Each structure stands twice: as C-alpha cells, then as structure tokens.
Chains A and B, each alone.
Chain A
C-alpha cells in the first residue's frame, strides 16, 4: 500500500497528445469521456443560466423566441446525451474493469471508437450554433413540427444526425460493458458477488441495447421524411404524428433509467464504505435494478396521457408507472437501513450520497403524482414536470455522479480532493438546486407551461421565476468551486494512497492511479467484499455473510479456480 508523502505518478508525465488520441486503455478512455462530458456540462449550464435569466422577469427581451428555443433544446439534449450518459460511461469505463479485476474492457478498440464517435457527434451538434441553426424543437423533437414543412432549416437535421451517431456510440459502449461484465470477471466473482455498481452498469447497458433501436428507427424515419419525401409522421398520407411519439418515448422512458441506474449503483458503493457496514440487502438492490430495467420498458405512454389514447390504455400505463415506483422505494429503504447502526463518516462523497437519497425521494413521489392520469392532464407539460425530472436527474443522477467523483477521483489522480471545498460545493449546490427547482412545482400548479420564452406580468409567475434564477447562479457558483477544488488537488492535493477510504472492492487493491495493466495480482474473490476479507481474516464475509454458500456452489467455483484464468 502506498503511504502518504510518497510521490504520486502524475498524469502529466504521460501528457503526449498522440498517446491520448491512440489510446485503448479503458482508464484513459474513461478520463477522455469524463473530461469531454464535463466540458459539455459547462455548455449545458450556460444554456440553463440563459433560460433562467430570460424568465427571471416577465416579458424579458434578453433572448428572442428562436434563440430561446435553440437554447432549451440544446440544454436538454446536452445534459442527457452529451453529459449524463457519457459521464457515466466514462466513470464505468474507468471503474468497472477494476471492480471486476479485469485488465481492460473486452473490446478496447471498440471502446475508443465509441468515445471518438461521441466526441465527434457532440461537436457536430454544437457546430450548428456557428451557422445559427442549432436544433430548436426540443430534445423530444415532436413530429410534425420537425417535418420540413414546419422546420425548413438545417436545425433538425443536425439534431437527427448527431442523435443517430450518439446512439451508435452508446450502443457500442453498452455492448462492451455487457461482454466485459459477463466475460472478464476475475476468478471467484460470480454474478451475485459483483459490486452493485457493476450490476447497475450491466442493467443500464442492457437497457441501452434494447431501447436505442427505437430512437434510431424514429430518427431514421424522420430523416427520410425530411430529406427523401417520406410521410411516416404526416397525416393524410398514411403517416401518423403519434408514431413518432411512441417510437421516441419507447426509448425516452427507459432512457430515464439509463440515466439514474448508474447513480444508484454509485450510491450503493459509497454508502456502505462511509457507514462502515456492508450494503443492506444486496440481492434486493441488485434485483430491484433488474426489475426497474424490465418495468422501464412498459411505462412509456405516461408521457402521452394528453394525446387522446383510449382510457383503458391510459389506465394500464398508469398502473405500470406506479408499479415501477416499488423497486425504487425498495432501494431507498435498503440504503437507509445500510446507514442504520453504522458509523457514518460525512465525507463529501457521503454528503452527496445522502443528498441523492433525500432529493430523489421527492422526484420519486412527484413521479407517482404524474402517473395519476387525471392529475397528469393538469401537470404534464407544465413546470411541475420540469421540477419532477430535475429532482430525479439533477437531485438524483447528478448528485450520484458527484458522490462517485469525490469517491473515485483520488483513485484516478492519486490525490485527495479538499474536504472543506467539497463541503462548500455540496451545500452551495444543495441550496442552489432546491432554490432553482422546488419553486417550479408551484409554478406548474399555478398554470405555467414549459418551453415558453416569455410570459405576461400579473400571472404570479415572476417572483418564483426570479427565485429560480438566483438558484441557477448558485448552482453555477458551486460547480466553479468543484472545478477549483479539482485543479488545486492535482497540484497540492494530499496523496491518496491505494485505499484512502478503507474500502472493500477490488479497485482499491491497486495503486492510485493504477498501472496500465491495472493489477499485479488480483485478490481471489470469495465474497462481495474481497478487501474486507483480506483486512479482517478473523471475520471474513465469505464465512459469515449471505448468501449461505451451499456445497454445489462451492465445488463449482473451486473448479473455476482450478482452471485457467478467464479473459486476460
């Protein structure tokens, strides 16, 4: 184990640009993903601030309607496709092979291809700003508004082509994660001994593989309509605008779980380590991810309760949408039970994990509100929905990501982040987030629709919108504290050592940062906490913990142990 004060291998020592461009090392690709996604994140923040400033007062003239529509479209598209998804892909890229004791991903060159395609698609989409034709029909791009008759410019073509490429990129990444997880686990690590973050990534990747074709189909049909004279989404010629909505949301709702499950996986790693207890109910958490993955495919039409579907169809989708809340609730209770009776150390990572739970509960509850069809008729496409999904994707997914970054960055850089700046970051973003998004619940109930660039005074919307704008700038401030913390830690941060949190999964069994080949020796995995077993030989998990290992499992794994090591 590396002690404090020893020199930390610097990333800068390998700063030759060409080696980064040609790399197929999962750790470097992970870093490329995370850095690029973070830059797009900053773009998404600037767009958000422009929107909040525009709406801070009634009849503001900062932005014209077309500029506003481009900005809200790019904000949504950026945060989903260019930030959350690639950020999680980057995190999993770096961490997952380490967690399962593998030397790299299963397909290293496919991995690099996925990254470069993502970067190209993102830059391609943003290049549309240069000709003043950024996508402007929302991240949902409803037909027939997106047909050439109503959107003759290149805006929608930029969007559709970039989404097509991003779909290929994330599918390539997902296949890689699936194969890696199935094929490259180290000896002894059966499926039910995998870290929960690996479970979450596996389920997320399966969702991507099954959901993405629906979006790809939709986007290809849209391009055929727009540029080859097709009529898939135009009525009167045998097309139907609702076809687009079904194709889009059959992807779009599973997408929500694509965005949230990795964060749930992070939380399931962070909470036990900082509570000094194993995760409570491993199987329930793992299987609830699987349940969410399946159920996530059965709920899409709850985005379409206002389009005039038959009542019985709406009732069925309401039922499935409510049921999907159950496995989510199970996770929350399991997490709280993990904290219960522990010795909680409130490191920044843990603060973000706790913040995740507290805020995700609100997003989950308002999700059930929206599943109640008649209430949805009032709330859909109002600011209530904006509040709801930001509690899920910002209060949830983003807080989970920050928990993961504070947890794993020391592994990536070899340096600890400053805890005081971390705590400042946490409380600023906690306040800023709630200030921005809580009032939006009320604005929605007060009748404010989404995606409007202006509103008349005297509707009672201006005060709360101003509060929301102040919150937005508080968030931006908190993110700049994080950036400051990150860069100063690279220079002045305390050396992290191999295992700064006294954690239990395999990534902490190698140096920080790990060598190109990851491990000199991988400890044999006999339980869900291999490093606990090493540190506590008097009380190892494989002897005391569930599942009670029956003789057949034991002998089967011994056979595996005896055989040649799988994968690398």
Chain B
C-alpha cells in the first residue's frame, strides 16, 4: 500500500472502512494496484488532511459564531465594526500560502506520472461507440474490451478514437485519458498486483455510454506469455456438430461484414475482432458475462440488451443461434 507511507495504517483502515463500507469490489481510486494510482491516492490523503483541518476550522468558527452570538433580545445594538485591515490581509495571505504549498506538493507527482519508462509493452487502445479495440502492435494481436498485461512490466498505452470523445479509465490502475478524434494520447502504468481490474468509458459518448466497459487482466509473466502464444495459432477448425454448422452460418452470413476471425474469410473491421472469443470474459464491452445462455440471448436480440448498439443481426432461428453459440464459444 502506497498510502501507508503518509497516513498511519489505522487511520487508513478506518477511513477506508467508512468510505467503502465493505464494498471490496468497487473499482476504488483509493485501492491502488499500481504505483501511478498509488501516488494519486497519496495526494488525495494529503489533500484530505489539509482540507480536513481547514474544514473543521471554518465550520467550527461558523457554528461557534452562530451559537455564541445568537440574539438574546438585548436592547442595545452590538458594536458596529466595519472591518480590520490587518486581519483581512492575514486571511488573504494564509490561504494563498496554502495553495502555493498544495501546488508544490502536486507538481512533482504530475511530472513523475507522465515520464516514459524503458522497456515498456506497447498497446494501442481505440475507443469505438460502445466498445474498446485493443491492439498489441508488436505482438500482432487485435482483440476487444479485454487487456492482458504482465505484472510488474511498464505498459505504455496509446489512446485513440474511431469516432467521438471517450475516456479510458481504470480507477485502481490509472486516471482518465480522453480519446480525442484526430489525436494520440498516452497513459503509462505498471501493474503491481495481479488481478482483474474493471474500467469504463468516462466521457459521455452517446446512447450506450453506460455500457462501454473493459477489463485489464494483470497476470504473472508466464500466464501472459502463454496467452500471447495462443494468439499465434488461429483457433482450431471445428470438425463437426453444431460448432461446424455455426462456423458455416457465421462465414456465409452477414457477420463477416463487421467481424474478423483470424484464419477465416471473416475480415470485417467495423466490430470487435472475435478471434479467441471463447476465451473472453464478457460480451459487448462488459454488458454481459460470457456464458452460452447470455451469448444466445445477445444474438437473439442485441437491441433489447444494449439499446442503440451498432450490432445489427437478422432474426435467426433458435437452432442457428445454438450453432453460432457453439462455434463462437469454441474459439479459445
């Protein structure tokens, strides 16, 4: 815990308890899993300390004044004081010094957080209405809404937009960076703890802004390398059964207009790349968990699950859906 350096552990746990009320699954800004988020959490605690003192001082004075000087129906008027220049200069200067102090605390953190680190794994993240395209340019991997990274390695993410302004945010790992059409932005971090960290688009981007989530999966180096290696091989062709029928339906249907599956004739670029779809944890940018029954209802009527989604699909018989589910879930 980075915060331990500044705030005594017992204060931290007390406050965290009050703040998070046992909701250990919140993607909390104050439960950092990277040095970057840790530094920001540290800043927060320092600010809370400073402003806590100011808060209690000012509110205390206010309440004291109201209680102490409440009218007791005296006939005489209070002394008519019009001001006190010395006092007023004092309470102009002191807050000025405090904000100078806060700036001095802030600036080093700011520059540290934006420094490049050697040996970084490069990733490109492209925001689409309403999903995230994830590209590892050096590894030849293109996937969607799920970012695998090895623990302990610096990661450098280039953040781009395919349409409107989105914002890439994983509270436990790093702050927000907007995807601005026509520009490249960057975010850099080192994940220091293994785990699955949810992120979400943080800039309003249209009708399905709420369902534009993603996961960052921080895993041991070996697990990450295995994952990369699997991507080298195109998924196995299903031999027969529903999966083979599903493949046929997929490759002869309208799916291939938008979706890519490596090693097949499906090379559409508008929607998420579905190679190794079966290995993913979620459907439609964290809208649903990836389970066969969820996928079936998604294929049956995506507009009822995520109204406004750009996913268009003709109405299919339940048998075709069953086959498609079998095929897509087989893509591991």
Q: Which residues does A use to contact B, with CB under 8 Å?
A: 64-66, 69, 136-138, 142, 144-145, 150-151, 234-236, 240-242, 275-284, 306-308, 311, 314-315, 318-319, 322-323, 325-326, 329-330, 332-334, 336-337, 339-346, 354, 357-358, 361-362, 365, 368-369, 372-382, 442, 444-447, 449-456, 458-461, 463, 539, 541, 544-546
Contacts and interface: CB of A to CB of B under 8 A. Distances in A.
Contacts of B181: 144, 234-235, 241
Contacts of A343: 69-72, 74, 77-78
Given A241-B180, A282-B83, A379-B29, A315 B110 contact: yes
A546 B80 CA distance: 11
Contacts of B227: none
Task: Give the top 7 A-B pairs by smallest Cβ distance, nearest first.
Answer: A460-B23, A235-B182, A377-B175, A447-B27, A452-B210, A308-B185, A460-B26
B102 A322 contact: yes
Contact of A323 (B28, B99, B107, B113): B99
Given A330-B92, A341-B78, 10 more contacts: A275-B69, A315-B107, A326-B92, A329-B91, A332-B58, A334-B88, A340-B65, A343-B71, A447-B172, A459-B198
A315 B113 CA distance: 13
A280 B82 contact: yes
A25 to B, nearest CB: 35
Contact of A458 (B25, B54, B200): B25
Interface in B72-120: 72, 74, 77-85, 87-88, 91-92, 95-96, 99, 102-103, 106-107, 109-111, 113-114
B78 A144 contact: no
Interface string B296-315: 00000000000110000000
Contacts of B23: 446, 459-460, 463
19 contacts: A138-B204, A145-B165, A235-B181, A277-B78, A278-B81, A306-B175, A306-B202, A325-B99, A326-B96, A329-B95, A339-B66, A341-B69, A343-B78, A358-B62, A374-B106, A378-B29, A378-B175, A460-B21, A544-B80
Contacts of B164: 142, 144-145, 150, 241
B68 to A, nearest CB: 8
B142 interface: no
B285 to A, nearest CB: 12
B47 interface: yes
Contact of B106 (A277, A318, A342): A318
A274 to B, nearest CB: 9
Nearest to B185: A308
Contacts of A240: 182
B110 A311 contact: yes
B169 interface: yes
Contacts of B30: 445
Contact of B44 (A344, A375, A449): A375
A133 B210 CA distance: 20
A446 B171 CA distance: 8
B143 interface: no
A539 B80 contact: yes
A461 B62 CA distance: 33
Contacts of B71: 276, 343-345
Contacts of A342: 69, 78
Contacts of B198: 447, 459
Given A241-B181, A343-B78, A372 B83 contact: no
A150 B209 CA distance: 13
A143 B121 CA distance: 32
B135 to A, nearest CB: 19
A328 B139 CA distance: 53
Contact of A378 (B40, B74, B207): B40
A380 B176 contact: yes
Contact of B43 (A281, A372, A451): A372
Contacts of B205: 145
Interface string B51-70: 10011001101110110011
Interface residues of B, number: 93
A336 B180 contact: no
B286 to A, nearest CB: 7
Given A339-B66, A344-B71, A454-B211, A322 B99 contact: yes
B61 A336 contact: yes
Interface in B130-177: 163-165, 167, 169, 171-172, 174-177
A444 B85 CA distance: 41
Contact of A374 (B84, B85, B109, B172): B109
A304 to B, nearest CB: 8
A239 to B, nearest CB: 8
Contacts of B77: 276, 343
A308 B177 contact: yes
Contacts of B308: 65-66
A410 to B, nearest CB: 19
Given A278-B80, A447-B29, A447-B171, A330 B91 contact: yes
Interface in B1-35: 19-21, 23-30
Contacts of A333: 88, 91
A314 B69 contact: no
Nearest to B308: A65
B265 interface: no
Contact of B180 (A308, A318, A375): A308
A341 B92 contact: no
Nearest to A442: B19
Contacts of A369: 44, 47, 51
B284 interface: no
B28 A358 contact: no
B323 interface: no
Nearest to B113: A374
A377 B176 contact: yes
B273 interface: no
B275 interface: no
B267 interface: no
Contacts of A332: 58
A164 to B, nearest CB: 22
B174 to A, nearest CB: 8
A328 to B, nearest CB: 9
A240 B77 CA distance: 62
Contacts of B95: 325-326, 329-330
Nearest to A456: B286
A144 B205 CA distance: 9
Contacts of A447: 26-29, 171-172, 198, 200
Given A378-B175, A459-B25, A281 B83 contact: yes
Contacts of B107: 315
A381 B203 contact: yes
A277 B81 contact: yes
Nearest to A345: B71
B201 interface: yes
